[in-house]
Structure 1
């Protein structure tokens, strides 16, 4: 019996460490394949259905390989585990890894590393305290909390600040970016929390990172980093379904008004505190600040994505974009006169030079093999230049790395195959494994596809969704998620429900995601209405969630510029973009949404998908074959009775 088999056996390390542990064949199958990929320095793609226990199935073989190397005095394989969310990062580091290390009696050193925006910057904290820039009352109150916490923190990880909301306006003033970090010129470099976290990660045997950080490192997009991944012998991606799009982002370029505004704010801060004699600094910074804000005002008020090539051809956008260049150039010329007077202004000069070159990249919209697109937030515009495919670059990296690679998620396969996932990353040569969930979906759940709903674009759609939801909400006594593909429909349904039911309504955007979930779990009869970000990484177990209503199949918007560019590319190859891109993406997104319902062997519930394309379009079969084997029905009344019976049993 191998060390991996023994660890998962009735008498093994897990059985001794975890009360009630019982071996699961699927978990062992995955662990053995992971061990093989590590030993053979090959790559493996695994879909492990909810409840398989995939976290232990990849961590145990990785740590056992590390332990064996240490005992045999071979060079130990550094292990990197990359996740999609900070929540999962923290769960792995604080909960799963300590348990496994203890069970295996492993001495492996572990470290948690987040992106730089998650660490307090002592230099910027001191600068802000000195200048007291313009902040509203809430941000000032948050600043007082940050300053108080800063006196006692050991890690500098702003995740410790539970009494300050994640989106607080104070954070950009007390954390650094790649642009404004002074690196070795920083007076606080010896106490830098980010450097300490990185040094710990470089010395560790196993490092838990997230996908954005992994690709920032791999693409060398974060100065002074990029030394972690080349040293790793084992790479494990959990929630791997996200990585193709994230990789594209990092192998591309971006230019944002946020960078311009931050540069202007930092120049004004230097002017107010140290270079008060250079009046032109304030004038140039304020001019660019105004031009950046006016550029954002040209776009729609609501956040959106669109085609930058098309926008750039319109006179008013081209004119406002050219004005940004003129004002950025003016600021650059003024800063240039102040170079060498202090570190902060020298840093601003380097950033102005970089921004001018990034501007040129976004002005050259005719570059081939690229998608040029924009996205807006309530305050900013980000322009992107993204490669249509990262398959060659990433596939070669995997092949040449001499490491073992594991890609896993509960949602990677489409109609039982991994072609869509593997071809996007250039890893078609990988071994693969498809493990079904151990849950008895036929007994534990029902899938309802309602009849006679108005079409997705019908003006009565929100009304019909509300009418359909009310009996289900009543029967389940709350305990219901409504997941939407659009903010507009979500808000319409929320307004209509508010008039008709007494249950507390929790709507995405009212508060941070973590707080929203906590409120949902705390309030007996709450209903949660949310969009895409709640389709994955949300874990509500037991009778707190017995009904999930999905408003329609989650096809990406046909206006999405990256989708348009990739579709054009597929057409040029003589293939069908719907079958190659849109359908597989939507299947994986739907599987994520469905995964919110059954999270444990004792969970029961009803899944309602309000889209009859599942039954009256040929491609509906691809969706249905990719979903768990649930009992199917078209009858809302029957579903309501099933939910009511669950409430009685509880």
Structure 2
């Protein structure tokens, strides 16, 4: 722990273990800062530019700390990469006997009880699900971990998984007859015995918010240190877990589970099944009352509409009737007892989300998508509760990401989580952006608010795509703009065109890499967490500055709340959030020391508005041009 420079130097253990390892001063500086905080406790915020090697920079001091460390990442994919790839390399290099464990949320593990119940029910909506259930049954007999990512021939998006995995709502906990063989229980036991535990932010925030109950109480063990990678995602994820929600899917799952348990535990109680089916019929009525189109809006906008009032009233009535029957049936078995508890909880949530509300610190909103809907309540400021949870877990707290700072400061990120008295470190990328990149501003583009803006942008970037020979991401801030671009480019592009939504994200990325000259159109999910190294991605085009839509109900409520507190919502919320998002999108371009590429920022406000400088100062030091000829010359040098 005393000399991170040596450990990460040219003659250190990582250099001997990892082929092609290159010492980086930024990595050594970050490791030293992490080691100091782990030793002395406190809070550290680190922005580590692309190529810093931040994973090794925090893993080395974490494995040497002699304390229990919880490491949380942004996604399950990054979690698997950290546990199965990075952590074994560092552990082998350091030759330390550290016990590590991997823990995910319960929906990532097969539930033996629900698998058996689904098989006994014998009713599935499609032959595809029947075939997938057979594959899962065969896999369950040989799996050691029960992690659903182990079975490649059943997609993670398959509708069979909710039937054979558990949730906080339907898990029977210690009352489950399969408790001793439960994959989740086994994973948690390993977690309790681990020195280093790898989780993800959803599980971390669920634990902070005490969501993981159902017989397990708090899911995570106590720890002396917390390292939160991809920390820029934390404020939004935490807002979800510190709020409440109710979805049509949760209600439908209560119906389905009630029917299954009635057949298993109370076959003579036919009226229970009828009441469950009545609830199933009432769910679409509320979905219809919320409007036909996919939509997100404040609940207060539609709460007084007669169709909504009637649908909520009907749903409440049939749910109450089901609750009465479940109360009577609960003594018949643990499955029905669980359904009764869930019915009580869902009824309380329905009242909270649709009844009177006078709390100005929360916003109630709804979202409709396809045939589904979700009602939500979100706190406008999670800083007090997050800080309270940190105080209850004293020790070392490290927050790191490639995108945390706005300009040179961390005030925005720190304020959203209530972080105080923190040490801060901002490390630039070791990549040679001055030599290997070019930032292009297409000239004479109209204001992004006009209807023909996307068409004008596409005309401006078609010559860029010709010069780059495809090999590009076009990142959009809206699905509408993406669909418009897809329609235009389908007839005018000489390279393969890949469009988000046509195939799963992982399949699109695999195809993009293998083609080598494709153009991929994407929205939010492609702005971050996507790593394409080498020549396959040589150009990233961003259509607009990624300001959050002021029509989004949560954004709208936060803006109004800040105004009422006398603060400027644009300067202290909208602008910093957009800067961090832009940095994420721009970060897709250069992923390795040998990468070269052009970043195209189409939004003319970068050069015409006072806040444009804030965005530009937050990006790596790229040469800038407004001349297409320089872009063409850049690619001609390849």
Instruction: State the partner residue of 2:296.
Output: 305
Conserved? CA contact 1:121–1:176, under 8 Å: yes
Conserved? CA contact 1:84–1:238, under 8 Å: yes
1:196 corresponds to 2:196: no
CA gap of 1:330–1:395, structure 2 versus 1, over 3 A, is same
The equivalences for 1:366-385 within 5 A come to 366-385=358-377
Conserved? CA contact 1:295–1:320, under 8 Å: yes
Instruction: State the partner residue of 1:59.
Output: 59
Conserved? CA contact 1:449–1:608, under 8 Å: yes
Instruction: State the partner residue of 1:571.
Output: 563
Conserved? CA contact 1:614–1:620, under 8 Å: yes
Instruction: State the partner residue of 1:31.
Output: 31
Deviations 1:66-112 (A, max 9, x none): 2xxxxxxxxxx210000001111011101110000011111111011
CA gap of 1:146–1:502, structure 2 versus 1, over 3 A, is farther
Q: Which residue of 176, 181, 188 corresponds with 1:186?
A: 176
In 1: Cα distance, 2:627 partner to 2:310 partner: 56
Q: Give the TM-score normalised by structure 1.
A: 0.95
Cα displacement (A) at 1:280: 1.8
In 2: Cα distance, 1:133 partner to 1:183 partner: 25
Instruction: State the partner residue of 1:345.
Output: 336
1:465 corresponds to 2:457: yes
Instruction: State the partner residue of 2:535.
Output: 543
In 2: Cα distance, 1:30 partner to 1:644 partner: 37
1:515 corresponds to 2:507: yes
Structure 1 residue matching 2:331: 3-state secondary structure: coil
In 1: Cα distance, 2:488 partner to 2:122 partner: 44
CA gap of 1:206–1:234, structure 2 versus 1, over 3 A, is same
In 2: Cα distance, 1:82 partner to 1:445 partner: 32
Structure 1 residue matching 2:329: 3-state secondary structure: coil
Instruction: State the partner residue of 2:483.
Output: 491
Moved more, 405-414 or 153-162: 153-162
1:263 corresponds to 2:247: no
In 2: Cα distance, 1:586 partner to 1:517 partner: 25
Deviations 1:380-422 (A, max 9, x none): 2221212111112222332442210000000000011000000
Instruction: State the partner residue of 1:248.
Output: 239
Cα displacement (A) at 1:220: 1.0
Instruction: State the partner residue of 2:10.
Output: 10
Deviations 1:511-540 (A, max 9, x none): 222121111111132221111011001000
Instruction: State the partner residue of 1:73.
Output: none
1:281 corresponds to 2:272: yes
Cα displacement (A) at 1:300: 4.7
In 2: Cα distance, 1:636 partner to 1:213 partner: 47
Conserved? CA contact 1:591–1:627, under 8 Å: yes
Conserved? CA contact 1:133–1:269, under 8 Å: no
Structure 2 residue matching 1:82: 3-state secondary structure: strand
Q: Which runs of 5+ in 2 are unaligned?
A: none
Structure 1 residue matching 2:547: 3-state secondary structure: coil
The equivalences for 1:213-612 within 5 A come to 213-223=203-213, 224-225=215-216, 227=218, 229=220, 231-301=222-292, 303-362=294-353, 363-612=355-604
In 1: Cα distance, 2:30 partner to 2:68 partner: 21
Instruction: State the partner residue of 2:46.
Output: 46
CA gap of 1:593–1:258, structure 2 versus 1, over 3 A, is same
Cα displacement (A) at 1:270: 2.5
Instruction: State the partner residue of 2:140.
Output: 150
Cα displacement (A) at 1:502: 4.2
In 2: Cα distance, 1:301 partner to 1:316 partner: 12
In 2: Cα distance, 1:229 partner to 1:122 partner: 22
In 1: Cα distance, 2:221 partner to 2:104 partner: 18
Cα displacement (A) at 1:262: 0.4
In 2: Cα distance, 1:402 partner to 1:230 partner: 14
Instruction: State the partner residue of 1:141.
Output: 131
In 2: Cα distance, 1:79 partner to 1:304 partner: 41
Cα displacement (A) at 1:188: 1.0
Instruction: State the partner residue of 1:21.
Output: 21
Deviations 1:332-384 (A, max 9, x none): 11222222112211111110011111122112332231111222333322212
In 1: Cα distance, 2:282 partner to 2:174 partner: 32
CA gap of 1:180–1:327, structure 2 versus 1, over 3 A, is same
Deviations 1:605-634 (A, max 9, x none): 011111000000000110011111111112
Structure 2 residue matching 1:606: 3-state secondary structure: strand
1:619 corresponds to 2:611: yes
In 1: Cα distance, 2:101 partner to 2:93 partner: 18
Q: Give the TM-score normalised by structure 2.
A: 0.96
In 2: Cα distance, 1:40 partner to 1:351 partner: 44
CA gap of 1:451–1:565, structure 2 versus 1, over 3 A, is same
Conserved? CA contact 1:484–1:552, under 8 Å: yes
Structure 2 residue matching 1:312: 3-state secondary structure: coil
1:636 corresponds to 2:628: yes
Conserved? CA contact 1:449–1:609, under 8 Å: yes
Moved more, 515-524 or 431-440: 515-524
Conserved? CA contact 1:93–1:208, under 8 Å: yes
Moved more, 92-101 or 243-252: 243-252
Deviations 1:276-333 (A, max 9, x none): 3222222211221121122123335554321112222333222212221111111111
Moved more, 52-61 or 372-381: 372-381
Conserved? CA contact 1:50–1:595, under 8 Å: yes
**Number of equivalenced pairs:** 636
Conserved? CA contact 1:591–1:626, under 8 Å: yes
In 2: Cα distance, 1:198 partner to 1:345 partner: 26
Structure 1 residue matching 2:545: 3-state secondary structure: coil
Deviations 1:154-192 (A, max 9, x none): 110001122222211111111011111111121111110
Structure 2 residue matching 1:543: 3-state secondary structure: coil
In 1: Cα distance, 2:39 partner to 2:109 partner: 36
Instruction: State the partner residue of 1:71.
Output: none
Instruction: State the partner residue of 1:104.
Output: 94
In 2: Cα distance, 1:63 partner to 1:644 partner: 47
Q: Which runs of 5+ in 1 are unaligned?
A: 67-76
In 2: Cα distance, 1:338 partner to 1:34 partner: 55
Structure 1 residue matching 2:425: 3-state secondary structure: strand
Structure 2 residue matching 1:607: 3-state secondary structure: strand
Q: Which residue of 96, 114, 122 corresponds with 1:132?
A: 122
